Structure 1
């Protein structure tokens, strides 16, 4: 794709056309997404991701698969994820799911410490900390808009999703980071519903986790952990395995252990077949201007919100109450793929979506 150009309110027609061309090229890179409004559940694959995944299966079928080739795909994906969230590759660990990576963080919370979580956050960012109750770890649940206020002198860690799964609400990360700094607490952000459409600087947090199968459109089973300076020493490599070794290919056997000195010490042994496709997907997103992606996706979200008469909040995920599931059923019967969570219907806009999807949603709900 062409080099990104930031579009401003005073940009020229030629500049705007360039942005439009880039958006069209990005849309064409995906399999057709007509009526697919569920990136918050699972992203659509890129053509390049399908090609890489099919090529991997063919190599495996021929008996030509090698750990070294899979390892190269892991390192390519690791570097691309670092570019997407603004950290160096040596600050990125790889894993399989957010819950696994969050469990690593939870196991490192000191006995008797306090963790602050968002009331109603996705369970993978809550359950691992609740599971530490036997060590005296206590969990405080706070509403998202009062999360910063809940951080106090006893707080060792505040753990939250940057974008909430049930509502699409975006946390005030700046306020949380400032409050944590005042009290000496650490910050742990789940980027799963953010990375891929929302520009993110993971270096602002002590640690982040992200599953890549949603907005980053990778195969399910590839996830990432970013680790800042303070947490590099605080985290216990409780899941240390062969891939966490300083040289994984020469330290496959005990009795001695030499873990990597950087974030790779927290690597989980990769599920090999998903990583070629992950590398292709993340390479694509690493080359995008995510400010432009946000302008497109959140712009569609705001336009739909205005059409439905609900507050426009600058979110790519638009939700509203749907306790009886009638809105979800109406949208599904119109051939639209959306989702429902926590008594709400969720509509998610990504790169493949257009204003036509707004019209289809409004029509299905009788707002045409």
Structure 2
């Protein structure tokens, strides 16, 4: 049985049969489209001003904070995962070790690889917890791997990091909105909201723990990082926010109009119910294809020539290919008919 809340949320997306590409780009709920359309009309009618977007930003930040179980004061806003990750990469001490996952998404790896004087080590996801040592300054990984959909063993990683005194950095871009996310145990999390949270591209979040906050330098500080935003438009006097807002990047206003609606929608759902639905469809597809169940919302299988992806595309099914594998991503709008359509296309 689907709860009334989830049923109502599903209805926001119409009938996107065959859309299995939330891991690449989410779909906007009806309320986000309506809000964006109204905002564009107001802008065209000269009925918009920058200050009018402030309540939208505040509401979206609060919804995201609720979704990932941290206070809003721990949440900074930005536009891209790599930009927010760069703040953390800049804080790594000279000679310190950064432990990465082999094959993880480049936006959380390249900023660390660009740091001179930092030792970077990459290991397979299943070896990550065991690879943490006393030399490790920070462990960097995605909660859900982009290429394979594999879910990290966060309990083991957190335990190992605590035992060795390492900081933790978790990218939740492929998780938030479909898999329950608790950002509070991590020192840093980043999330770009245009995938499973179904927001417009250009809306990203950084969460920072109390112990990590003083280690980060707001090198990208601008007027929106000010304690009083509208009194911070001109320098050189600088009075930045005392909490995570000091890392804010000024928002792309229209994107946040849509994000307020999308993230507010997911913040009001039982995400565990969303995960059971999505991963259950994933397992149903595995059964139908005769491959071991993956217990994931993202189901992948080998497709080195791209033949299966081409068959799906020809059948009107939107999926994706990554690292020589087909990637079929089930979200709340999908149902059993999508499983049947995939099987019919590839068989």
TM-score range, shorter chain: over 0.9
SS at match of 2:282: helix
User: Displacement, 1:20?
Assistant: 4.6
Cα deviation for residue 22 of structure 1 reads 3.6
Q: Residue in 2 aligned with 1:91?
A: 74
Matched, 1:75 2:58: yes
Count of residue pairs brought into register by the alignment: 347
Candidates 231, 238, 241, aligned match of 1:257: 238
Contact 1:38–1:348 (Cα < 8 Å) also in 2: yes
2:255 match: 274
Query: Could you tell me the TM-score, scaled by structure 2's length?
Result: 0.98
Partners of 1:68 and 1:203 lie apart in 2 by 31
2:46 counterpart (49, 60, 63): 63
How many Å separate the matches in 2 of 1:54 and 1:302?
Answer: 38
1:44 aligns with 2:21: no
Residue number in structure 1 paired with 2:217:
236
Structure 2 residue 15 is the aligned partner of structure 1 residue 32: yes
Q: Secondary structure at the match of 2:100?
A: strand
Pairs within 5 Å for 1:133-172: 134=116, 136-172=117-153
Q: Does 1:362 align with 2:343?
A: yes
Partner of 1:348: 329
SS of the counterpart of 1:249? helix
Q: Please, which runs of 5 or more residues in structure 1 have no aligned partner?
A: 1-15
* Structure 2 residues not aligned, in runs of 5+: none
1:212 pairs, out of 177, 193, 210, with: 193
Is the contact made by 1:31 and 1:45 (CA closer than 8 Å) also made in structure 2? no
User: 2:5 touches 2:269 (CA, 8 Å); kept in 1?
Assistant: no
Q: Distance in 2 between matches of 1:31 and 1:337?
A: 16
Contact 1:317 1:349 in 2 (8 A): yes
- Could you tell me which residue of structure 2 aligns to residue 3 of structure 1? none
Query: Deviation at 1:149?
Result: 1.3
Asked whether the equivalents of residues 6 and 269 of structure 2 are also in contact (C-alpha less than 8 Å), the reply is no
Q: Deviations over 1:328-367 (max 9, x none)?
A: 001111110000011110000001100000000011111x
